[in-house]
Amino acid sequence: MPGVRRKCWQRTASFGTVGIYGLPDDEPGDLEVSVLGLVAKNLRLVGAIGSQAEPGLRSFHDALDLLVTRRIEVDRLISHRIGLDGLPQIAPRAARVEDGIVKVLVDFDTPTPVHR
């Protein structure tokens, strides 16, 4: 979604972390992240790529099969649905296992309060 990475780094508090996971095949190469913006806010940029380098994408296909055949219920994995404005409140809690936060679905366009 165009503009999402820009929104993320712009809304990240000083001394925060911006994560970029993977790149789609049609990635234009522009990560929409300003180096000067990162430096000015003393942000950390963390990236991860290569999760689909497995020969034959076996794990990916197995996961799709589990979803399609409904052998796992993914709705139960999403413990919280929030708007982007709720991310600063929930991120510190997500680091603590005892808070029971499993997977957070973030809607970047709709401000909503943190709820279960």
Do 55 and 88 belong together in one domain? Answer: no
* Partner residues linked to 107 by β-bridges: 83
pLDDT the model gives residue 24: 65
Between the alpha carbon of residue 54 and those of residues 47, 49, 68, 83, the distances in Å are 19, 12, 21, 33
pLDDT in tens, 18-43: 888 776 666 666 778 888 989 999 99
pLDDT the model gives residue 43: 92
Which residue type does 16 have?
A: G
Spans in the chain with pLDDT lower than 70? 1-2, 23-29, 51, 97, 111-116
Do 94 and 39 belong together in one domain? Answer: no
Do 56 and 80 belong together in one domain? Answer: no
Provide the domain count of the chain.
Answer: 2
Tell me which residue range forms the domain holding 7: 1-71
Do 65 and 93 belong together in one domain? Answer: no
Structure tokens belonging to residue 1: 């979604």
Which residue type does 60 have?
A: F
Do 91 and 105 belong together in one domain? Answer: yes
* Partner residues linked to 83 by β-bridges: 107
Distance CA 67, CA 63 (A): 6
